[in-house]
């Protein structure tokens, strides 16, 4: 990994930190590929119970590196079409991997979350924001349209009409507005962002992993399934949980009137 992306796996938590504070954590194509490699690695680690995505410095991420567009902007329309399609297509495996990842994805946001960075926030399983956070779909400001899975996740998180408003006008919303429309789960004072995030991560690390993984899979699929399709998926998921060590521990703890100690089950 380059110095632009910091990664760590420790105590059941994987951490992926965007580390370009001098560039407002703008993400290059190379960084997105490094992110993909790390997410694919995390996917193979059953001991990991959650993935945290955050940024160093005063901002979460400024989206794509717009300065990199300057090298091609004078090209013909056909070359530009192919270049921008290539950029979007190259990043697609990352968004697919995050959606597929059995472990819950948590975003901790402070400062600006703009452009493609909004895909992480809207697509995460849980997003927590500092009270100084700002969010915007900046694409329209330079004549682009949102990609990175944003047009999939954003309507599901905040509703289609609000998503269109953000996409059409590129207006900035603050942390409280993001909370009100459902873009983030929780807003905390800036000084408490790290400690509150750690509390969430510790709860996930102590949770029954197979239950969480199956809940994520079921809920992600629910908006595209018919009722009978969803019931069939639920049946299979209940079976997965029933076969897990966590289920046995949970039932015994209930009978013995004690707190369950999950953590030995393998994600499936």
Contact 205, 49 (CB under 8 A): yes
Whether the predicted pLDDT of 264 surpasses 80: no
Digit-coded pLDDT (tens) for 88-99: 899 999 999 999
Nearest by Cα to 163 from 52, 142, 92, 149: 149
Mean local confidence (pLDDT), 41-68: 90
Contact 122, 107 (CB under 8 A): no
Whether the predicted pLDDT of 164 surpasses 60: yes
Burial class (CB in 10 A: 0-12, 13-18, 19+), 99: middle
Whether the predicted pLDDT of 239 surpasses 60: yes
Q: What is the distance between the alpha carbons of residues 176 and 221, in angstroms, rounded to a whole number?
A: 29
Helix, coil or strand: residue 51: strand
In order of 15, 29, 73, 128, the CA distances from 66 in angstroms are: 26, 11, 11, 26
Residue scoring higher pLDDT (75 or 33):
33
Beta 5-10 vs 13-18: how paired, if at all?
antiparallel
The CATH superfamily assigned to 5-205 is 2-enoyl-CoA Hydratase; Chain A, domain 1 (3.90.226.10)
Burial class (CB in 10 A: 0-12, 13-18, 19+), 129: buried
Mean pLDDT score of the chain: 92
In this predicted structure, which of 126-130, 176-180, 239-243 has the lowest mean pLDDT? 239-243
Contact 94, 42 (CB under 8 A): no
Q: What is the distance between the alpha carbons of residues 89 and 151, in angstroms, rounded to a whole number?
A: 15
Which pLDDT value is given to residue 138?
86
- The secondary structure of residue 27, as a DSSP letter, is B
Q: What percent of the chain has pLDDT above 90?
A: 78
Q: What percent of the chain has pLDDT above 70?
A: 97
Which pLDDT value is given to residue 180?
97
Whether the predicted pLDDT of 191 surpasses 90: yes
Digit-coded pLDDT (tens) for 206-216: 999 999 999 99
Could you tell me the residue ranges of all domains in the chain?
5-205, 209-255
pTM of the model: 0.91
Mean local confidence (pLDDT), 243-254: 91
Q: What is the distance between the alpha carbons of residues 218 and 224, in angstroms, rounded to a whole number?
A: 11
Sequential DSSP letters for 126-142: EEEEETT-EEE-GGGGG
* E-only strand ranges, 19-79: 50-55
Sequential DSSP letters for 172-227: -EEHHHHHHHTS-SEEE-GGGHHHHHHHHHHHHHTS-HHHHHHHHHHHHHHTTS-H
Q: What is the distance between the alpha carbons of residues 99 and 40, in angstroms, rounded to a whole number?
A: 12
Digit-coded pLDDT (tens) for 25-34: 998 889 999 9
Helix (H) or strand (E) holding 17: strand 13-18
């Amino acid at each position: 990994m380059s110095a632009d992306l910091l990664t760590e796996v420790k105590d059941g938590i994987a951490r992926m930190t965007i580390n370009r504070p001098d560039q407002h954590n703008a993400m290059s194509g190379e960084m997105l590929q490094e992110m993909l490699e790390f997410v694919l690695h995390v996917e193979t680690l059953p001991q990991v119970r959650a993935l945290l995505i955050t940024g160093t410095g005063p901002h979460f991420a400024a989206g794509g590196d717009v300065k990199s567009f300057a090298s091609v902007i004078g090209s013909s329309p056909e070359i530009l079409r192919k270049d921008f399609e290539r950029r979007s297509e190259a990043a697609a495996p990352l968004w697919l991997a995050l959606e597929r990842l059995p472990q819950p994805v948590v975003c901790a946001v402070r400062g600006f979350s703009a452009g493609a960075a909004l895909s992480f926030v809207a697509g995460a399983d849980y997003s927590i924001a500092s009270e100084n956070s700002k969010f915007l779909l900046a694409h329209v400001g330079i004549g682009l349209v949102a990609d990175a899975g944003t047009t999939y996740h954003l309507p599901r998180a905040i509703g289609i009409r609000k998503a269109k408003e953000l996409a059409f006008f590129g207006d900035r919303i603050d942390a409280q507005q993001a909370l009100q429309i459902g873009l983030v789960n929780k807003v905390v004072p800036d000084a408490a962002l790290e400690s509150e995030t750690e509390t969430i991560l510790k709860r996930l690390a102590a949770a029954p992993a197979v239950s969480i993984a199956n809940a994520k899979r079921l809920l992600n699929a629910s908006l595209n399934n018919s009722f009978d399709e969803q019931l069939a998926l639920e049946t299979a998921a209940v079976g997965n949980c029933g076969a897990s060590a966590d289920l046995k521990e949970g039932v015994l703890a209930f009978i013995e009137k004690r707190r369950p100690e999950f953590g030995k089950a393998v994600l499936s």
